[in-house]
Amino acid sequence: MKRLKIHITGAVQGVGFRPFVYNLAKRLNLNGYVTNDTHGVIIEIEGKEKNINQFLISLQTEKPPLAHIFSQEIEELPLKEFKDFEIKKSKSKGKKEVFILPDISTCEECLKEMNDPQNRRYRYPFINCTNCGPRFTIIEKLPYDRPNTTMKKFKMCPQCEKEYKDPQDRRFHAQPNACPVCGPHISLFTSDKEFISEKEKALKDTVKLLKEGKILAIKGVGGFHLVCDATNNKAIKTLRERKKRGEKPFAVMFKDINQIKEYADITDFEEAIIVSPEKPVVVVKSKNNTDLSKEVAPYLDRIGVFLPYSPLHHLLLNDFGKPLIMTSANLSDEPIVKDNEKAFEKLSIFTDYILVHNRDIKNRVDDSVVRIIDKKISFIRRSRGYAPLPVKLPFKLDKKVLAVGGHQKNTVAIGFDDKAFLSQHIGDLQTIDACKNFEEVIHSFFELYDFKPQIVVSDLHPRYYSTNWAKKFSNENNIPLIQIQHHYAHALSLMAENGIKDEPIFAVCWDGTGYGEDGNLWGGEFLIADYKGYERVCYFNYFKLIGGEKAIKEPRRVALSILFEIFGKDLPYIPTLKAFKEKEIDLFYKTWEKGLNSPLSSSAGRIFDAAASILNIRQILSYEGQSGMIMENFYNWNVKDYYPFEINDVINWEPIFREMINDNLDIETKISKFINTLAYIVIETYKKKGKGLKLGLSGGVFQNKPLIKKIIQLAEKEKITVLTHKKVPSNDGGLSLGQIIICAK
C-alpha cells in the first residue's frame, strides 16, 4: 500500500480534469481526493503500489483533450486509510498560478446534441460542456468556478444541476453549463433599440434580414461582430462606407471546411489549423470565379477564412447557407465592443439591427489571425483560442515583471517564474477608448493572478501612450522602469520563444517604425543580440520621411524622398511624379532639402512602400502594410534574378532603385526581383557580419510570405539555421514577450 500527494500545474482547470481523475481512481480502486487550488490541481491517492503506478501513467496518457500539464510534483506520505475517492471543494487562497484557458470552439458531441430534435438542448445557441465553450471571456477571478464567472447570475435548473454535480457526466463542473430553461438567450433589436424578437424567432429573423442584404451587429463570445452576406457587393460596400474601412480585407466565416474549399485553395496544413479547436482566421489563397464579393479583399488574391466556433455561429451559418462577413465591431482604432448598452451607443451608425445575448463578456477578445509559412503557423494576431496561455521561458525570472508592449498591435504581458502570460490582442493605442482598454487589460491580469509587479518594462519611444503610462505607473508605485529599444525587444522575443539560452543570434529586425537610440526611426536593422545587450552591426541607409507620419500612409512621399536623394531635382518621369502636382514637388523638395518635418528612417517597411510607389502599386495606403500585401500577389517563384545592392556599414539602396526605374520588364518580374533582392541582402549581410550564429527574423515585414520563404530557401543552401516566430506574432504583438525576457538576465 502507498499514499502519494500529486501537485499538477498547467491548463488543468475547466477542462474536465477532476472528473477524469475521479473516474480513473475509481477504475483502479484507489482512494483519496482531488481538488482545484490557485496553483492547479492537488491529488492525494492511496492504494496498491501497482495501481498507483498505473494511475501516474494514465494521468499523462489518458488526460482530457484540452488539458496541458506543465509540471507535476509527487510527494510520498504516510498511509491515511481513505475510505473512498472524492472531489473536494476548490481552495481559493494562495498564490495564483493556474493557467486560464482560452475560449474553446464547440465540440462535436455538443454539435450533435444541438442538431438532435429529441435533445433538450436542440438549437440552443449556448450549448457547451467540459470540453468546449467560453473560458477566458467569462472569468472574473480564480479559481475557475461558476461563482467566479459571468454565469453566476444564471441559476441552474434541476436537470443542469444534476449534470453539473455528476463526476461521470460530460458536464461535470462545466462552469457555463446551461439549457434553454435556465441559461442565456438571444434577443433581436433594431439599431435604435426597438425590440423585435427573441430566442428561436430572433435567430430566424436574423437569417431573413441577412438574406435581405442587411448589416447586423451580432454578439459572440469575446465581443460583437459586424455581419453581412459575403456574396453581396452592395451590403459590403455599405459596410465599408459606414465603418470607414477603406480597402482593408474582411474575415469571412464559412459553415464548414467543404464550403471553404469551394472558395479557396488550401493545403493540408492550412486545413488542420482551420479545423483546430482554436478556430483562428487563416489567410489562404482565394479561388477565382466564385460568387464571393470582390469587396471582401480588394486587390488581394488571399482571404481570411474561419469556421464557426460558437453554437450561435453554427446555427447562423447553417441556416443562412452562404459565407458571412464577420469583422470586429468597433469604430476605427477602438476596441471591439463587448457590452449590450455600448453596442446600441456605438454600433447603431454601422448597423440596421443588433442581435444581443444576456451572458456578459468580462474580457473582450478579438479573433486570432494566422497564416501558414513554410509549413509553420505564423501569427498575425494572437488572441481568441490562444490567449492567455503562457509562453514558457528558457529560464526563470527573479522578479515579477509587467511589460506594456508598443503602440501598434499592442499586447501586454506579465511574467513570473519561467512563464510569460501574454494578453489578448489590444490593438493600436490611438484613441481614448483604446488606451482605456489597455489599462483595463493590465488591471484584469493583476486581479486574476493577484499580481503585483516588481519591475515594469516599456519601449523607448517618448510619445507612445504605453511608455508614458509605464513611467507614471513606475513613479506612483516606486518600482523600477526599464526602457528597451524596439528592435532589440523583437530580437529577444524571437530568442525567448525559440528557447535560446546563452548564445548570441544574428537578428534581422525589419518593420515600419521603431524609435532608435540615436533618435531616428529605425526599421531595417541587423543586430547581434543576446540577453545582456545588442550591437547594431548594419542597417538600411537613412532616408527622409517627408511630412513625418503622413509618409507612413503615403508611399509616394517615401519614394519622392528617395528619388531626391538619388537624382536631386532632375527626376525621371515615373508613376511617383504623376501622383503629385508640379508645385507640390517643388515644395516637397525644399522641405526635404531643409529637413523640415522630415525625420530620418532606416525602415524596411518604408523601402517596400517606396518600391510600391515607383512601380505604381499604391501611392496612398488604405491600411498599414497594404503595399507589401498587394506585391505578394505578383511574386513569381520562377524569377531568380535580383537587383544590385551594396553592403558596408549600411545597406545602400540606391543601386536597387536606379535599376528598378531603368528596368523595362513586366511588373511581375520587377516585384519578384525586388523581393529576391531583400532576401539576398539578408543572407549576404549575415555572411559578412554574423557568420556562425543562428539567423533570426523578426518584425512585421517578415509576415511577407514570399520574402520569408525565399530567405529560408537561400539559407538552406548555405546551411544557415533560421529562427522564426511560431508562438507570438513577428509584428509588434510580440514585443511584450521580448520586454519580459530582458528581466531574466
What are the structural domains of the chain?
2-87 (3.30.70.100), 186-357 (3.90.870.10), 371-498 (3.30.420.360), 539-723 (3.30.420.40)
C-alpha cell belonging to residue 664: 523595362
Contact 312, 220 (CB under 8 A): yes
- Mean of pLDDT over the chain: 95
Please tell me whether the overall predicted TM-score, pTM, comes out greater than 0.95 for this model.
Answer: no
pLDDT band at residue 645, thresholds of 50, 70 and 90?
very high
**In the 8-state DSSP scheme, what is residue 152?**
G
User: Residue 353 is inside which H or E element, if any?
Assistant: strand 353-357
Taking only the tens place, the pLDDT of each residue in 215-271 is 999 999 999 999 999 999 999 999 999 988 899 999 999 999 999 999 999 999 999
SS3 labels along 562-591: HHHHHHCCCCCCCHHHHCCCHHHHHHHHHH
Contact 227, 350 (CB under 8 A): no
Of the chain, the percentage scoring pLDDT greater than 70 comes to 99
pLDDT at 389 over 80: yes
3-state secondary structure of 317: helix
Write down the pLDDT at residue 145: 86
Write down the pLDDT at residue 15: 82
More confident residue, 655 or 582: 655
Q: In angstroms, what CA-CA distances link 383 with 105, 137, 245, 460?
A: 14, 11, 21, 25
How far apart CA 2 and CA 737 sit, in angstroms, is 43
pLDDT band at residue 96, thresholds of 50, 70 and 90?
low
Write down the pLDDT at residue 332: 74
pLDDT band at residue 365, thresholds of 50, 70 and 90?
very high
Taking only the tens place, the pLDDT of each residue in 393-410 is 999 999 999 999 999 999
Contact 150, 339 (CB under 8 A): no
Instruction: Respond yes or no on whether the N-terminal peptide bond of residue 388 is cis (omega within 30° of 0).
Output: yes
Write down the pLDDT at residue 167: 85
Distance between first and last Cα of the chain: 46
Write down the pLDDT at residue 658: 96
Taking only the tens place, the pLDDT of each residue in 286-297 is 999 999 999 999
Contact 643, 677 (CB under 8 A): yes
| Region 438-451 average pLDDT | 94
Pairing of strands 31-36, 85-87: parallel
How far apart CA 274 and CA 269 sit, in angstroms, is 9
Write down the pLDDT at residue 40: 85
Contact 652, 645 (CB under 8 A): yes
Beta-carbon count within 10 A of 628 CB: 24
Write down the pLDDT at residue 745: 63
Write down the pLDDT at residue 110: 97
Closest CA to 466 of 383, 423, 380, 403: 403
User: Residue 455 is inside which H or E element, if any?
Assistant: strand 455-459
Contact 245, 239 (CB under 8 A): yes
More confident residue, 331 or 742: 742
Closest CA to 216 of 315, 356, 353: 353
Taking only the tens place, the pLDDT of each residue in 683-725 is 999 999 999 999 999 999 999 999 999 999 999 999 999 999 9
Closest CA to 7 of 34, 31, 32, 30: 34
Taking only the tens place, the pLDDT of each residue in 22-46 is 999 999 999 999 998 877 899 999 9
Beta-carbon count within 10 A of 460 CB: 17
Check the CA dihedral 622-627-543-575 and report its sign: negative
Contact 123, 316 (CB under 8 A): no
pLDDT band at residue 97, thresholds of 50, 70 and 90?
low
**Residue 77 forms beta bridges with which residues?**
3
SS3 labels along 221-275: CCCEEEEEECCCHHHHHHHHHHHCCCCCCCEEECCCHHHHHHHEECCHHHHHHHC
How far apart CA 698 and CA 708 sit, in angstroms, is 10
